[in-house]
Structure 1
């Protein structure tokens, strides 16, 4: 059995006028959605001193991560969070992690 996992790394800024508290509250809806997805292992959300955000989502494999994306786009709680994001600053990558 492989110990290889996938780390989804999403960086973004929120739109002007969106408070950190508002973003964190909306992010809780995304976490609730993710907890229902096959292959989901956990999530860490953080913010830098300059206001940039990082969303780290841990998955069992790349297929699980990719399968969740279109589902998230149709989920009302996820849409509410995504609406706060400045799309021009959004970057998503997937990394294979051993251990």
Structure 2
């Protein structure tokens, strides 16, 4: 059985973007992700110091990488992408070992 892949992205926002605005705009990413092959789930959280952490579960690493390659090309995500401080973005793909719901 193939283990699922977890995509973890951390980022900060550009100055002047509120938590409420990015949370609303980030719904477009959920819509995008749901349409991608292999998508399972998505969570987005924020620390008190403004570090956003996104976890997306994919059926395979290939599915995660394919979606990551397309996200910057998707016009419906332009507003959300402009709100993210590009140099702050860190992306990791890992293998899911334990999941408890």
TM-score by structure 1 length? 0.93
Q: What are structure 2's unaligned runs of at least 5 residues? A: none
Q: What are structure 1's unaligned runs of at least 5 residues? A: none
Q: CA RMSD in A?
A: 1.1
User: What does 1:9-28 correspond to in 2, within 5 Å?
Assistant: 9-28=8-27
* 1:77 shift after superposition: 2.3
Q: Does 1:38 align with 2:40?
A: no
Q: What SS does the aligned partner of 2:48 have?
A: coil
* 1:69 shift after superposition: 1.8
Distance in 1 between residues matched to 2:23 and 2:92, nearest whole Å: 21
Aligned to 1:54: 53
Query: Given that residues 26 and 77 in structure 1 are in contact (C-alpha distance below 8 angstroms), is that contact kept between their aligned partners in structure 2?
Result: no
Cα displacement string for residues 2-39 of structure 1 (whole angstroms, at most 9, x for unaligned residues): 3x111100000000000001101110001001000000
Aligned to 2:76: 77
Query: Given that residues 6 and 61 in structure 1 are in contact (C-alpha distance below 8 angstroms), is that contact kept between their aligned partners in structure 2?
Result: yes
Distance in 2 between residues matched to 1:19 and 1:90, nearest whole Å: 17
Distance in 2 between residues matched to 1:96 and 1:71, nearest whole Å: 21
TM-score by structure 2 length? 0.91
Aligned to 1:6: 5
